[in-house]
């Protein structure tokens, strides 16, 4: 609380308000929907990762992003583009090299921080609504101090997006050679959205346009920064859209791999 000694001259003491908040709108709706959405997504992803099944469509070389790159001894031959270098233990996901970095990239993302600080930690749940905790140390102490590593997870996410892009290219396949089906459209759509989310990252924006004194002397970086800034204001939407495209891509590959549905083929 501001003491009388430090309060600016003329400023009044805060009114003593007994109510927790004076807001009468549905301020709790956004945190609630965030909890429901993120919990559902994490539950789906966890189940899928530990199913250890239905991740690869042999005929069309579709590989779900949840299992890419497939690097355990359990991986079928065609799906293991980078070799099978980890043992076949159920606790080890097929994509053991990428999933931890993807998780850390999203956990430390500026948007997701806002989302889960407000919804899971109620810190604070909304503007003009009190914090759910007595004290607040922000990101100045362990473990939240680690949020500053986000810029490094961004580099890992770029590599993972490249791998996902390669998977989408390899999927132009059929038993006759080249092929193109609905699965390709879904894989490509997912990769485009993943790139949009990754490039719209605040760290990327800083890498592209930060530490410059004069944009006029760096016209190419200025153009790139303008584009990244345009995407950046849509970062929240892209964060949610990519959760959707990832789940959709995974579910489609699972459904085709399990023979629940056939792939809709346009060519071969
Ligand atoms: S700020 Fe969200 S991914 Fe970097």
As to burial, measured by CB atoms within 10 angstroms (0-12 exposed, 13-18 middle, 19+ buried), residue 167 is buried
| Distance separating alpha carbons of residues 258 and 138, to the nearest angstrom | 46
Ligand 1 close to Cβ of residue 265 (< 6 A): no
Residue 10 pLDDT level (bands cut at 50, 70, 90)? low
Nearest to 182 by CA among 80, 255, 76: 255
Distance from the alpha carbon of residue 70 to the mean position of ligand 1, in angstroms? 25
Ligand 1 close to Cβ of residue 111 (< 6 A): yes
- 144-159 mean pLDDT: 96
Ligand 1 close to Cβ of residue 110 (< 6 A): yes
161, 193, 202, 236: which to mutate for ligand 1, most atoms within 8 A of CB?
A: 202
Distance from the alpha carbon of residue 176 to the mean position of ligand 1, in angstroms? 41
Distance from the alpha carbon of residue 239 to the mean position of ligand 1, in angstroms? 8
Distance from the alpha carbon of residue 266 to the mean position of ligand 1, in angstroms? 36
| Region of residue 43 (phi > 0: left; psi between -120 and 50: alpha; otherwise: beta) | alpha
Q: What pTM, to 2 d.p., does this model score?
A: 0.91
DSSP element (H, E) containing 107: helix 99-107
Closest ligand 1 atom number to CA of residue 204: 4
Closest ligand 1 atom number to CA of residue 154: 4
Closest ligand 1 atom number to CA of residue 110: 1
The per-residue DSSP string of 216-250 comes to GG-HHHHHHHHHHHHHHTTHHHHHHHHHHHHHHHH
Residue 5 has pLDDT above 60, yes or no: no
Residues in the chain: 268
The per-residue DSSP string of 112-158 comes to HHHHHHHHTS-SSSSTTS--SSS---TTSSTTGGGGGGHHHHHHHHH
pLDDT tens for 87-110 read 999 999 999 999 999 999 999 999
203, 231, 241: which to mutate for ligand 1, most atoms within 8 A of CB?
A: 203
Ligand 1 close to Cβ of residue 235 (< 6 A): yes
pLDDT tens for 70-81 read 999 999 999 999
Ligand 1 close to Cβ of residue 109 (< 6 A): yes
pLDDT tens for 243-252 read 999 999 999 9
| CA separation, residue 178 to residues 78, 88, 173, 239 (Å) | 16, 32, 5, 33
Q: Hey, where are the domains in the chain?
A: 29-132+139-267
Residue 135 pLDDT level (bands cut at 50, 70, 90)? confident
User: Within 13 Å and on the Cβ side, how many CA atoms surround 221?
Assistant: 15
- pLDDT for res 17: 79
Q: Which residue has the higher pLDDT, 136 or 152?
A: 152
- pLDDT for res 3: 44
Lowest mean pLDDT among 1-15, 171-185, 211-225: 1-15
The per-residue DSSP string of 154-186 comes to HHHHHHHHHHHHHHHHHTS-BTTB--EEHHHHH
Q: Is the separation of the CB atoms in 238 and 245 below 8 Å? A: no
Distance from the alpha carbon of residue 50 to the mean position of ligand 1, in angstroms? 27
Q: Which residue has the higher pLDDT, 227 or 138?
A: 227
Distant-in-sequence contacts of 69-74, Cβ < 8 A, 24+ apart: 69/95, 69/97, 69/98, 69/163, 70/94, 70/95, 71/95, 71/96, 71/97, 72/96
């Amino acid at each position: 609380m501001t003491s009388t000694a430090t309060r600016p001259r003329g400023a009044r003491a805060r009114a003593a308000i007994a109510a927790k908040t004076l807001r009468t709108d549905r301020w709790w709706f956004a945190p609630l929907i965030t909890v429901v959405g993120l919990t559902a997504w994490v539950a789906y992803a966890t189940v899928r990762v530990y199913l250890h099944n239905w991740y690869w469509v042999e005929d069309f070389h579709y590989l779900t992003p949840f299992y890419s790159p497939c690097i355990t001894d359990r991986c079928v031959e065609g799906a293991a583009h980078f070799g099978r270098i980890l043992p076949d233990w159920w606790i080890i996901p097929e994509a053991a090299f990428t999933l931890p970095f993807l998780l850390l990239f999203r956990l430390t993302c500026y948007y997701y921080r806002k989302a889960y600080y407000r919804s899971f930690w109620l810190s604070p749940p909304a503007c003009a609504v009190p914090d759910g905790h007595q004290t607040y140390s922000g990101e100045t102490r362990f473990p939240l101090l680690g949020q500053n590593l986000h810029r490094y997870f961004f580099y890992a996410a770029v590599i993972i997006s490249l791998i996902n892009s390669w998977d989408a290219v390899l999927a132009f396949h059929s038993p006759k050679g080249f092929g193109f089906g609905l699965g390709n459209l879904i894989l490509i759509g997912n990769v485009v959205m993943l790139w949009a989310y990754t490039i719209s990252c605040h760290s990327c924006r800083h890498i592209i346009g930060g530490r410059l004194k004069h944009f006029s002397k760096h016209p190419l970086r200025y153009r790139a920064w303008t584009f990244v800034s345009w995407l950046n204001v849509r970062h929240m939407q892209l964060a949610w859209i990519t959760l959707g495209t990832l789940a959709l891509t995974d579910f489609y590959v699972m459904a085709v791999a399990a023979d629940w549905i056939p792939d809709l083929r346009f060519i071969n």
